[in-house]
């Protein structure tokens, strides 16, 4: 237990301030008593008895319950009560080496308390300021929205009832345009602010506050070290020459030696421990955009002729501020690294505090830069495509036509034939998401064509690697031909081949030139190559089917993604395929292909006949053997050891996410939450996290490593030997989490070998560094299997 993990709540903060006050009072008592002791020593023993009684009157004694310092001080006062004679030389030494140091320690202790209280006050003010900023911007938004509604109503009244001409109409139109522009700018500022304050709040809560508390614990423990040294000097200069007083001195020395700085606050932390404060939630008030005719969307920047220049200017300002912040932070880091003394001084404390504040500012700026860049990238190129102009002359006109592509939405007049066999072209990648496209386009001039959904319409997009990545929407003329800026063509393939072979830029402003078409990867299957047979389950993103490959009649399992899911969810769906296609291991479910040519998107995997391991365990609970259970544990360890070697964190290892093949062979499956990183920090809260399978450090701090999977593996082994039991049965998620933090661990299932349960407990070590890695686990479980089922030796 430590300050940073256990004292984040307001009650803990108040208790820590109370403890600091009690320690300051104790220092005052010690200084006062020792000063009196020096005086009484010089006058010999005339006031020794009253001094001892006074020294034992420790103020706020209840707040110091369990304090080793306090107990040691009482023992010293008892010894002083027995002392009748002290020589003057020892009294002089006591005054210069003890009393003076206590005074210095007292001054430093008060400074440390004041600094801690200032830091906590600043942190509270920061959280309040973030909340106030959002509230003020929301009020401004509402005010501009009302102005927009009023000017729009007046304009419509003049436009409909009084005709199109006249100075009055021009005045009304100008006021409406100004109100519209002001509303859009306020909308963008509101969206940017929400993202920024969320990042800032998360950084303050998950980084700044724990760091502040860690520093406080270091400072407290260093004070205890200094405090102990002062008491040791007190003992030293209270030594006597006679055997009787030497015995008294030995008892006092033992009392001081019992002081352990690392244990001084153990009882205090246990008594005042609180859960970390819940993060502040900043959400877009969707009621603000109900009456904007769909032109303004929640949590999405509006990119049009009213805002494009402002967005570019704002992006430039933010990038300059971010660059400056990074430079300042690097300078602060260098200063901290050059500090020679490993102990934390007040100057080091200030530097580290400044670095954390700069980090918070950096996160805030990065978030705003990412949001604006993303919005501008969605635009496709530097210029506005047709349909983005919101000037008043075009407000009531019909929008220009867009392509209704092969995705199946309004494509009666633009089928595959009219598009010139687009789906047959190797450089056409269907509905492949933007993130996958960016991954494929790596060299200047690389290009491909894909489909996307925009405003409930299917559009064809040309994506090019050129000064980053640019995305151009193919426009369609009233005559049904296709174009960018140059000539028109009857089919999209002809348009693309013209741009490629001519060497002309797609648009003059972007300068993007097509050089190398990127063909579909071997993993990209055609949806028509897969025949769905029957539904066998349901996943997080859609239904799961038993299917057959048309070409070879092989039976496969197919995960589908609902067409109606937002792009973000579709990207998460495809993440499992992107991870699996790199792996080849007998205990990892194999990927056969990904279907992105049209909706629905599908992931095609090997069909594992035994189904879910959890279902298998429950169905065969009466017949399953210990040897079979150990084999399952070995298979899971082998698969996870392979993933660990590939720096893949599964994050959802459980019996429900494992499959059973032939001969009870277990395969790891369901990589929807996986991340290919050595360490992954969650930034989107704990939604959908399997609490009872997840390691404490991931739940408390959102920090995932492969050692978190080791914790989950321990629960998986428990599931196997409990034959499909529910871990922490009868407890809610929050109850299980609290009991785990308090030291509780799942009991051994009936019939579990003792050495297997010891392995589970090793996997459930609270400190991640104490857990074994998966290569060690595999070796251990393999040894169990050989011991239980030794091989036949001929």
Give catalytic residue positions: 652
The annotation status of 316 as a binding-site residue, yes or no, is no
The annotation status of 559 as a binding-site residue, yes or no, is yes
Q: Are 723 and 712 in contact (CB under 8 A)?
A: no
Q: Are 670 and 678 in contact (CB under 8 A)?
A: no
The annotation status of 536 as a binding-site residue, yes or no, is yes
The annotation status of 538 as a binding-site residue, yes or no, is yes
Can you tell me whether residue 203 is helix, strand or coil?
Answer: helix
Burial (CB < 10 A; 0-12, 13-18, 19+), residue 668, is buried
Q: Are 432 and 378 in contact (CB under 8 A)?
A: no
The annotation status of 537 as a binding-site residue, yes or no, is yes
Of the candidates 219, 190, 240, 283, the residue with the CA atom closest to the CA atom of residue 89: 240
Instruction: State the Cα–Cα distance between residues 777 and 343, nearest whole angstrom.
Output: 39
User: What H or E segment, with its residue span, contains residue 593?
Assistant: strand 591-595
Q: How far is CA 531 from the centre of its chain?
A: 39
Instruction: State the Cα–Cα distance between residues 273 and 192, nearest whole angstrom.
Output: 36
Tell me which residue has tokens 């019992």.
258
The annotation status of 611 as a binding-site residue, yes or no, is no
The annotation status of 550 as a binding-site residue, yes or no, is no
Tell me which residue has tokens 């972007």.
510
The annotation status of 540 as a binding-site residue, yes or no, is yes
Up-side HSE of residue 477: CA atoms within 13 Å toward CB? 14
The annotation status of 620 as a binding-site residue, yes or no, is no
Instruction: State the Cα–Cα distance between residues 268 and 67, nearest whole angstrom.
Output: 8
Tell me which residue has tokens 């009244």.
157
Instruction: State the Cα–Cα distance between residues 316 and 327, nearest whole angstrom.
Output: 17
Instruction: State the Cα–Cα distance between residues 156 and 124, nearest whole angstrom.
Output: 48
Instruction: State the Cα–Cα distance between residues 652 and 341, nearest whole angstrom.
Output: 43
Backbone angles phi, psi at 61, to 5 degrees: -60, -35
Instruction: State the Cα–Cα distance between residues 324 and 329, nearest whole angstrom.
Output: 9
Task: Show the DSSP H helices in 657-705 as ranges.
Answer: 696-701
The annotation status of 542 as a binding-site residue, yes or no, is yes
Binding residues: 536-544, 559
Which residues sit in the known binding site for ATP? 536-544, 559
């Amino acid at each position: 237990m430590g300050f940073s993990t256990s004292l984040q709540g307001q009650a803990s903060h108040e208790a820590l301030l109370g403890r600091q006050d009690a320690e300051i009072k104790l220092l005052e008592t010690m200084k006062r008593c020792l000063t009196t002791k020096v005086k009484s020593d010089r006058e010999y023993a005339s006031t020794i008895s009253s001094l001892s009684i006074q020294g034992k009157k420790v103020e706020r004694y209840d707040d110091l319950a369990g304090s080793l310092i306090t107990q040691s001080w009482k023992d010293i006062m008892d010894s002083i009560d027995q002392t009748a004679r002290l020589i003057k030389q020892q009294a002089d030494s006591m005054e210069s080496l003890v009393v003076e140091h206590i005074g210095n320690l007292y001054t430093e202790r008060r400074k440390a308390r004041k600094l801690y209280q200032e830091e906590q006050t600043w942190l509270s003010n920061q959280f309040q300021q973030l909340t106030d900023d959002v509230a003020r911007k929301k009020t401004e938004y509402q005010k501009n929205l009302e102005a927009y509604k009023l000017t729009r109503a007046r304009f419509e009244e003049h436009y409909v009832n009084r005709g199109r001409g006249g100075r009055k109409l021009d005045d009304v139109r100008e006021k409406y345009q100004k109100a519209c522009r002001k509303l859009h700018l306020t909308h963008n500022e509101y969206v940017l602010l929400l993202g920024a304050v969320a990042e800032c709040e998360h950084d303050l809560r998950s980084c700044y506050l724990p760091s502040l508390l860690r520093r406080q614990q270091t400072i407290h423990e260093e004070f205890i070290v200094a405090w102990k040294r002062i008491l040791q000097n007190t003992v030293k200069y209270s030594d006597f020459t006679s055997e009787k007083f030497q015995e008294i001195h030995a008892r006092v020395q033992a009392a001081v030696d019992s002081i352990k700085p690392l244990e001084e606050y153990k009882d205090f932390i246990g008594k005042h421990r609180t859960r970390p404060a819940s993060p502040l939630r900043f959400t877009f008030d969707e009621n603000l955009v109900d009456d904007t005719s769909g032109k303004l969307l929640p949590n999405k920047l509006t990119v049009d002729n009213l805002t494009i220049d402002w967005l570019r200017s704002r992006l430039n300002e933010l990038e300059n501020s971010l660059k400056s912040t990074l430079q300042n932070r690097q300078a602060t880091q260098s200063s901290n690294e050059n500090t020679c003394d490993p102990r934390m001084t007040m100057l080091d404390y200030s530097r580290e505090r400044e670095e954390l504040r700069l980090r918070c500012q950096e996160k805030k700026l990065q978030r705003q830069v990412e949001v604006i860049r993303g919005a501008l990238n969605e635009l496709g190129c530097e210029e506005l495509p047709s349909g983005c102009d919101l000037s008043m002359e075009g407000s009531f006109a019909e929008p220009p036509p867009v392509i209704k592509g092969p995705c199946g939405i309004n494509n009666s007049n633009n089928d595959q034939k009219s598009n010139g066999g687009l789906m047959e072209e190797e450089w056409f990648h269907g509905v492949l998401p933007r993130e996958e496209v960016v991954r494929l386009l790596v060299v200047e001039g690389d290009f491909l064509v894909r489909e996307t959904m925009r405003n409930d319409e299917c559009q064809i997009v040309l994506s090019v690697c050129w000064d980053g990545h640019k995305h151009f929407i193919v426009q369609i003329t009233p005559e049904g031909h296709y174009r960018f800026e140059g000539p028109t063509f009857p089919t999209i393939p002809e348009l693309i081949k013209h741009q490629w072979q001519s060497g002309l830029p797609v648009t003059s402003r972007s300068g993007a030139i097509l050089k190398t078409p990127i063909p579909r990867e071997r993993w990209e299957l055609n949806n028509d190559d897969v025949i769905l047979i029957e539904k066998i389950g349901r996943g997080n993103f859609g239904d799961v089917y038993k299917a057959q490959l048309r070409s070879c009649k092989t039976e496969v399992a197919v995960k589908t993604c609902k067409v109606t899911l937002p792009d973000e969810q579709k990207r998460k769906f495809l993440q499992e395929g992107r991870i699996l296609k790199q792996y080849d291991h007998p205990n990892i479910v194999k990927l056969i292909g990904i279907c992105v040519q049209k909706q629905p998107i599908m992931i095609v995997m090997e069909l594992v006949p035994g189904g879910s391991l959890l279902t298998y365990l429950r169905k065969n609970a009466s017949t399953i053997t210990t040897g079979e259970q150990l084999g399952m544990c070995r298979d899971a360890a082998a698969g996870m050891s392979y993933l660990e070697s590939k720096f893949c964190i599964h994050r959802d290892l459980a019996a429900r996410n494992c499959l059973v093949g032939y001969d009870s062979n277990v395969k790891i499956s369901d990589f929807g939450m996986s991340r290919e990183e050595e360490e992954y920090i969650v930034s989107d809260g704990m939604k959908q996290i399997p609490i009872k399978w997840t390691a404490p450090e991931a739940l408390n701090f959102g920090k995932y490593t492969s050692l978190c999977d080791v914790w989950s593996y321990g629960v998986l082994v428990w599931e196997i030997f409990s034959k499909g039991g529910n871990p922490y049965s009868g407890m809610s998620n929050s109850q299980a989490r609290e009991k785990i933090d308090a030291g509780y661990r799942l009991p051994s299932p009936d019939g579990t070998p003792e050495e297997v349960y010891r392995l589970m407990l090793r996997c459930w070590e609270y400190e991640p560094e104490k857990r074994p890695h998966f290569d060690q686990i595999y070796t251990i479980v393999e040894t169990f299997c050989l011991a239980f089922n030794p091989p036949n030796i001929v």
